[in-house]
Amino acid sequence: QVQLVESGGGLVEAGGSLRLSCAASISILSFNAMAWYRQAPGTQRELVARITSGGSTNYADSVKGRFTISRDTAKNTVYLQMNSLEPEDTAVYYCNAWRYSTAYWGQGTQVTVSS
């Protein structure tokens, strides 16, 4: 059974940094892609950053230049380094992975940025 477990969320002041981790129960290279999404109260879940099995990355315009997605294949873990955080980044952040036609989700981790 595929499991994704996020960690690293918390409360930070505007301008600060956090690093989120997503640990997978299987080799992350078996996924077609992995991604981070976020959902703020009253809004739809949105894509933040994505990394393919080949290592290509893409980002939402709102986080370009501030967030970086990376992975450690030996640890089966994907990271989201978040710098220059803004109050608008406050949301629950979810790890996502695609394998064949199936999507997997983590339980989410709360990120709160105070002004």
Residue type, 13: E
C-alpha span between 69 and 8 (Å, rounded): 14
Q: Over the stretch 17-74, which tens digit does the pLDDT of each residue have?
A: 999 999 999 999 999 999 999 999 999 999 999 999 999 999 999 999 999 999 999 9
Q: Over the stretch 59-81, which tens digit does the pLDDT of each residue have?
A: 999 999 999 999 999 999 999 99
C-alpha span between 53 and 96 (Å, rounded): 13
